Every structure is written in structure tokens, then in C-alpha cells.
Amino acid sequence: MYHVKNYINGRLTETSSKSNIDIFNPSTGEIIGKVVNSNHNDLLEMIEFAKKAQVTWSNFTPLKRSRIISKYKNLIEENIEDLAKLVSIEHGKTLDDAIGSVTRGLEVVEFACGIPHLLKGEFSLNVGTNIDSYSFRQPLGITAGITPFNFPAMVPMWMYPISIACGNSFILKPSEKDPSCSIKLAELFSKAGLPDGVFNVIHGNKNIVDLILENKDISSVSFVGSTPVAKYIYEKSSKYGKKVQSLGGAKNHLLVMPDANLDQAVDGIIGAAFGSAGERCMAVSVAVAIGDIADNLVDKINTKSQNLKVAPWTDSESQMGPVISKEHKEKIISYIDSGINEGAKLVLDGRKINIQGYENGYFLGPTIFDSVKTNMKIYKEEIFGPVLSIVRAKNYEEAINIVNNHEFGNGTSIYTSDGEIARHFTTNITIGMVGVNVPIPVPMAFHSFGGWKNSLFGSNAMHGIEGVNFFTKLKTITSRWPKSIKSGPEFKMPTN
């Protein structure tokens, strides 16, 4: 059994806290390790190191910072399978899925390597007579990120590489359910030459989260998680004067038009609904079957889903692993029970799956409901598991209204061969991230990730240029250097 410590000032650090949190193997249900449940003193110690380190780090030229981040990128590439294995052991997702998630995070590190270009300011000559105006962006100071269990490598890398590239120090509070990958990422950054104290990792529960939100030395908070918690993070952080980017839950719809390539749509739906056991904020949890294709679509999804290989990550043929915890498995089962009780048609039941040798693991099979109505609990709420709801719509107009009327606005997609429909959909859908014949429209690192409505609190999306703007503050200078300056005050608004 191993013990995961905090990473403070470039090293693993003992804590004064005597409290620990169990780490489980989701495939077996066994306790495999413990992670420290940090206290206030641990955070205060970390902040003091981060504060001193940030002053030095912010004075590194952007080019010098970029070179260190470039070395870090190389180290992640060299250690990508080790990082992925840490994810699979503690989260349970398949190794291929874990490698893919680390790779998507690595893309943000690659984007951050371009920070000398990204931090270029603006200059205007002669905005007035002999007066020039220019602007540039400066770091915030100490920044913090609070990240979820479902992507213990990728989601933190949405945050800290850009923050650090901009000249900030960063405190990461990862999920206590799968904390080991964050420590490995921090160690690699130190190995790349990052000064001690710039990147720190603290572990704990809600108590540490609240202490981060309340601390006056922390300038910004980044968060990804459920909508109730995202709203709480946003409101409390704002109360304490922090910049906040807070991403919440989702109920992502995939529309299938009658003219769509049905086999492509089915493959897209199955991968997006059941990949990573449905534990991702961009999972497709609602398929909207439009017109007379519904029966055929349901049959094809059901037939292919029955053949999915559900197994632990150590099985190289596994296509879907367990969910994260016993409690979460029970919560998902309660949603399935609710769907049955409310009258949805249960096409495929994943509750009774049994894997020999892993009877105590947190496994669920793919679950499919047909004829789901928009007033049902399984439609309205985020389940965060391998449960697909199929809603039938008479036509495109009804389908787009269904999507736009949902409280969440994270992601959506449409499968169609009609360019006019696709263009209308992308223009008129009230969702932040939209795909056309793409099941999971996650933006690349040089674009920004963020939803609308109750999927995003505040106006700050993750990574891309929005990430750079979030982790910096704008300063604008207006200057005049005449040979002589008139004496006496001026009382009118300067106009020339």
C-alpha cells in the first residue's frame, strides 16, 4: 500500500496532518493506497513558497519560460505510458483511453510553448499629438486549480501549463480519488528545470477547497466538475475577489437526421456514450432520433452495444472499465431505476454485469433507454455514467428546440448530409461546443473549451487564447515624451 504526499517547493513533503483518505482500485474495490488529507498549515506553507517563487519566475523572459516548458513537453512524451498507467490504476479507464487523455493534455503544454508570441502586446503610434499608447499582459500571482476525478491528467493540464507560462505560480488540488498522476506531472516539471515552488500539489477534501477559495494571496481559481459545485466555486471565489473560470455539468445531445450515414452515427454515439464509462463532461448522454429512422437507429445501437467488452484496464481487449467508486455506481443504478419507474423503455440493462474475478469491482455495462421524455429525471439530470437516453423527435425543428430548452449547454453534435441543416444548427444552437458529424466536439488546445448556460459560470473558458487572457491582467500605457511640457493643469478631456 502506498501513500501519496503533497508536492511543495519542488519535493514530496511530510504534513502535520494525521488524516488520510483511502484510494481504491475501481476494478477490484480494494484499498490500494492512502492520500494525505491536508490541513490549513499545509496550504499556508505552500502559499509562502509559491509567493516567493512567483516573483523570481515572473522575471524569467517568456522565451526562457518557453524553453523549460518545451523540455517538460519532451519528458511527458517520454513518460506518457507511465502517466497513463497511474490514471488507469486509480481511475479504472482503459489504458488506450488514459493515453489518449494524457495526449490531449500534452497538446496544451505544446500550446504553452508559444507563450512569447501569445504575450505580445499592442502598440498605437500617435493616438494624440506626440502621444503613444500600448498595452501588455502581466501575470496574476498565485493561481489555483481544483480538478475532477475523471481526467486526472488532462484537466489539470488545461490549467497549469498556461498559467505557469504566463509567469504565475500554481497550486493544484486534484481529486483525492486518483491523486498519483498529478504528483508525477509535478516531478517531471521540476526535472525539466522549473524553479521550486512554481508548481505545487496539495491533497485533501472540501475543507482544503474552501481554504483555497478564501485565501487572499490566491488571485484566481480554475475548476471543472458538477454544476452545483461549479456554481458554489464561482460564487464563493468571486466573493473573495478572485478571477474564476468554473466549468459545470452537461447533458450533451447528438442529433441524427434522416439523411445521415446511420452506421457512422451509431459508431459515434456508442463511443461517445460509453467511452470512459460515460464519466466525461463531453459524453453523449442523449441521442435524438429524428423522423422515421428511430427504430433502425435504436436497433443498431443496441446490437453493437451488447458486444462491448467491459473489463479491467489490464485486459488489453477492454473497451470500457469500471466507474470510479461504489457510491457512484449505486447513484447510476438509482438513475436507471428511476428511468424504469418513469416509463422509459429499457432496451439494454447494464446493472447485472458480472466479471469473473472482479465481482467487487465497480463495473456497469452499457445501458440504453428508448422513448425518453424531456420531463424524466434521466433526461434532465447529468448521470455521469454509461447510460444513453434516446429521445424521438418528429422533425428537425422539434429536435433543435429540445436541445435549446435544456438547462445545460456544454456540447452537442449533429449527424447529417445536408449542409444547409448543418449551418443552421451551428448558428442557432445555444450550446458552447458544437460538432457536425463529429461525436465529441472537444476543441484543440489552441482553441478554447467551455459551454454555455449552466455548464459555465462566469465568462472564462479553458485554454487557448481565453486561457492566456484569464491567467493575465491587462495593463495599458499612454505616454508622451515632448521636448518640453506645458506648465499648468488642463481641465478638459484630452482629444488630440
Q: What is the tens place of the pLDDT at every residue in 122-157? A: 999 999 988 999 999 999 999 999 999 999 999 999
Domain boundaries, the chain: 2-248+455-477, 252-436
The per-residue pLDDT for range 226-250, each reduced to its tens digit, is 999 999 999 999 999 999 999 999 9
What integer pLDDT is reported at residue 489 of this predicted model?
73
Closest Cα to residue 274, out of 249, 304, 295? 304
> Using CA atoms in the order 138, 143, 148, 150, what is the torsion angle rounded to 10 degrees?
50
What integer pLDDT is reported at residue 459 of this predicted model?
87
The per-residue pLDDT for range 409-425, each reduced to its tens digit, is 999 999 999 999 999 99
Kindly state the cell numbers that stand for 245: 473560470
- Whole-structure pTM value: 0.95
171-to-38, 219, 385, 413, 489 alpha-carbon distances in Å:
13, 11, 29, 35, 48
What integer pLDDT is reported at residue 484 of this predicted model?
62
Asked whether the beta carbons of 412 and 422 are under 8 A apart, the reply is no
Active site residues: 281
State yes or no: pLDDT of 496 exceeds 70: no
Burial class (CB in 10 A: 0-12, 13-18, 19+), 365: buried
Q: How many CB atoms lie within 10 A of CB 477?
A: 11
- Report residue 322: phi and psi, to 5°: -80, 170
The per-residue pLDDT for range 380-406, each reduced to its tens digit, is 999 999 999 999 999 999 999 999 999
Percent of the residues in the chain that have a pLDDT greater than 90, as a whole number: 95
Q: HSE, CB side, 13 Å, CA atoms: give it for residue 309.
A: 10
The per-residue pLDDT for range 43-89, each reduced to its tens digit, is 999 999 999 999 999 999 999 999 999 999 999 999 999 999 999 99
What integer pLDDT is reported at residue 450 of this predicted model?
97
* β pairing state of 284-290 and 252-256: parallel
Classify residue 153 by its DSSP letter: T
| Cell 517538460 sits on residue | 72
For domain 252-436, is the CATH number 3.40.50.300? Answer: no
The per-residue pLDDT for range 333-362, each reduced to its tens digit, is 999 999 999 999 999 999 989 999 999 999
> If you classify domain 2-248+455-477 with CATH, what class do you get?
alpha beta
Question: Where is average pLDDT lowest: 190-194, 456-460, 461-465, 475-479?
Answer: 456-460
The per-residue pLDDT for range 249-294, each reduced to its tens digit, is 999 999 999 999 999 999 999 999 999 999 999 999 999 999 999 9
Closest Cα to residue 92, out of 176, 177, 156? 177
State yes or no: pLDDT of 495 exceeds 70: no
249-to-76, 171, 235, 416 alpha-carbon distances in Å:
29, 23, 16, 26
Asked whether the beta carbons of 366 and 345 are under 8 A apart, the reply is no
Residues in the chain: 496
Closest Cα to residue 323, out of 378, 266, 383? 383
Classify residue 320 by its DSSP letter: B
Classify residue 295 by its DSSP letter: H
Asked whether the beta carbons of 202 and 42 are under 8 A apart, the reply is yes
Q: At 486, which amino acid appears? A: K
What integer pLDDT is reported at residue 114 of this predicted model?
97
H helical segments located in 59-179: 62-78, 80-91, 95-112, 115-118, 154-165
User: What mean pLDDT value characterizes the chain?
Assistant: 96
Average pLDDT (449-463) is 95
Q: How confident is the model at residue 14 (pLDDT cuts 50, 70, 90)?
A: confident
